[in-house]
Amino acid sequence: MRQKVKWIIGVVVIAGCLFAFRQPTNNYFDIAKSLDIFATLFKEVNTYYVDEVDPQKLIRHGIDNMLESLDPYTDFIPEDELENFRIATTGQYAGIGALIGIINKKIIVTHPYKNFPANKAGIKVGDELIAVNGISVQGKTTAETSTLLKGPSKTEVEVKVRRYGQKNDLTFKINRERISISNLAYSGLINPEIGYLKLDDFTPGASREVAAAVTKLKQQGAKKIILDLRDNPGGLLHEAINIVNLFIPKGKEVVSTKGKVAEWNKTYVTLNSPLDTEIPLVVLISEGSASAAEIVAGALQDYDRAVLIGNKTFGKGLVQTTRQLSYNAQLKVTTAKYYIPSGRCIQRLDYAHRNQDGSVDAYADSLKSAFKTKNGRVVFDGGGLDPDMVLEQQYMGEITSTLYISGLIFEYATKYCNENPQPDFRTFKVSDKEFEKFASWIKEQRFTYATSLEDETRKLVEAASRERYYSDLENELKLLLSKIESNKANDLNRFRDEIAELLARQIAFHYALNEGQYVVSLAHDSAISAAVKTLNDLAVHRQILSTN
């Protein structure tokens, strides 16, 4: 055991010192000193700590805490986690092509990807997984179940499921395939002249998918395009560059990266002939739009090529590079910041200057600089992208979000879809009669939840008790809690519209996956309505993009 520990320490020290002396830094002594202290400390802990220690676990804990002090994007990836990392970055794996989740303590198929093995075999949204190759998955985690479902391409896997309303379990024999998850969740015409694309990721092939979708939409009559990047967390830099290239001329700067290693600094320009430099564009953004999504939206804004509608983006202006480590491990490390064509970096949080408690602040407004777009519009750095047209943020009611997170909306959609024929999604909505059925079913499930106001009032009661004011305030506090409870009893009706809309989307997804869900939701989406209104009046569209 101790020989193993000494060997681990030796590798850490030697590898660390080699790494240190290869890097452009003058802190050689400090690095060597710190590594020596770490190695001797670890040796003493291993020798004298009262209980036996696990060297790998302790080292991993130290690595994770060290990297956590830098930023959330610098990660250590050991060999046994490389496959999950590869799937996350490429969207590719071998399996049956189905997303699974835990709902009400059951392993449920939440998304059988269209035209992949599970979907083609007949597995539906809402099916409960019972066994894989004869091995029961009840009580297993999604990771354990996913491992059973994955395997080499062209191998067979037997999947047993339980379907709502079916007396007997169903067994499917499915041939695994190489799965490549689409970056585009949906594309289609909103009206005869406006095409819509919802881009969820920037894994390999994203730009080809967008190019093909735009070409198809134009062939169908689209003369204007809405590109929806809301809640898109980003991904591969070159895919972002190629998507921008679809709409701006060849040879234009899209993004530049600048970091500690000067020879890694690079300016990326468009290399190909564009698809269309004239078609009017609107890009939808949100606080969940980050990284590569911000590069696309920011570059199109800087060239005054698209109107940005929505809310301020996340503000991730950091670039990560993957570096190979010993024993097939890897390090995903932040190596640079990126700058979009106007010269601004949209990084919002200043990780280089943490507070004493470890928290991180956004860059102060006083430190932000003004830049200009191609047409002279003023834009700012240091805080994400500001949309050209800001929309009021809409927040779900507590009851709506709790119903969704608990899986009850999903479960009722499963029930509905197995009891009713598929509707016409263009006109589908949850009727008042159906909503009453849903409300009755919710009561049968003994659904309960606590509102934020209720939680805060109970904290007030606890504080009053600690401060010995409760006897003086008892009547008022009890009355307040009673009124909150009374109001909460009516929440199902108060938030009826948003609950019904969410339920309608989930029902449509159960029937026809993304296509059904988006057909139902497009007509009720305020951001899309604002985009359509802007594109319907091209004079307003041009005015927004002119000098302010």
Residue-wise pLDDT tens for the chain (548 aa)?
Answer: 444 444 444 444 434 444 444 444 567 888 889 999 999 999 999 999 999 989 889 999 999 999 999 999 999 999 988 888 888 888 888 999 999 999 999 999 999 999 999 999 999 999 999 999 999 999 999 999 999 999 999 999 999 999 999 999 999 999 999 998 899 999 999 999 999 999 999 999 999 999 999 999 999 999 999 999 999 999 999 999 999 999 999 999 999 999 999 999 999 999 999 999 999 999 999 999 999 999 999 999 999 999 999 999 999 999 999 999 998 999 999 999 999 999 999 999 999 888 888 889 998 888 889 999 999 999 999 889 999 999 988 888 889 999 999 999 999 999 999 999 999 998 999 999 999 999 999 999 988 887 888 788 888 888 888 878 777 777 887 788 778 777 777 889 999 999 999 999 999 999 999 999 999 999 889 999 999 999 999 999 999 999 76
8 A C-beta contact, residue 546 and residue 303: no
pLDDT at site 228 = 98
Q: Is 316 a catalytic residue?
A: yes
Q: Please give the structure tokens belonging to residue 256.
A: 């530049």
C-alpha 232/C-alpha 241 separation (Å) is 15
**Angle formed at CA 159 by CA 102 and CA 79, multiple of 5 degrees:** 65
C-alpha pair distances (Å), 519 with each of 205, 420, 506 = 25, 19, 12
User: Residue 367 class from Cβ within 10 Å (0-12 exposed, 13-18 middle, 19+ buried)?
Assistant: exposed
pLDDT at site 19 = 45
Give the E-state strand segments of 270-388 in sequence order.
Answer: 281-285, 306-310, 318-324, 330-339, 370-372, 378-380
pLDDT at site 453 = 80
DSSP type of residue 361: P
C-alpha 286/C-alpha 473 separation (Å) is 43
Query: What is the sign of the dihedral through the CA atoms of 377, 381, 387 and 390?
Result: negative
Q: Are strands 253-259 and 170-175 parallel, antiparallel or unpaired?
A: unpaired
**Nearest by Cα to 229 from 256, 188, 262, 196:** 196
8 A C-beta contact, residue 279 and residue 224: yes
8 A C-beta contact, residue 492 and residue 499: yes
Q: Residue 132 forms beta bridges with which residues? A: 135, 159
* 55 contact partners, CB below 8 Å, separation of at least 6: 4, 5, 8, 42, 46
Secondary structure (3-state) at 79 = helix
pLDDT at site 13 = 40
Q: Is 482 a catalytic residue?
A: no
Domain with CATH 3.90.226.10 in the chain: 184-324+334-393
Q: 92-180 adopts what CATH topology?
A: Pdz3 Domain (2.30.42)
Secondary structure (3-state) at 108 = strand
Give the E-state strand segments of 91-218 in sequence order.
Answer: 92-95, 98-103, 106-112, 128-132, 135-136, 156-162, 170-175, 177-180, 184-191, 194-199
pLDDT at site 86 = 85
pLDDT at site 523 = 83
- Tell me which of 316, 388, 521, 525 is the catalytic residue: 316
pLDDT at site 548 = 62
C-alpha 269/C-alpha 252 separation (Å) is 5
Q: Are strands 378-380 and 281-285 parallel, antiparallel or unpaired?
A: unpaired
Q: Is 521 a catalytic residue?
A: no
Pick the CATH number of 184-324+334-393 from 3.90.226.10, 3.40.50.11260, 3.40.718.10, 3.30.300.30: 3.90.226.10
- Tell me which of 75, 302, 304, 525 is the catalytic residue: 302
User: Residue 326 class from Cβ within 10 Å (0-12 exposed, 13-18 middle, 19+ buried)?
Assistant: exposed
- Tell me which of 291, 342, 521, 525 is the catalytic residue: 291
Give the predicted TM-score (pTM) of the model: 0.88
Domain with CATH 2.30.42.10 in the chain: 92-180
8 A C-beta contact, residue 282 and residue 534: yes
C-alpha 129/C-alpha 515 separation (Å) is 24
CA 303, chain centre distance (Å): 27
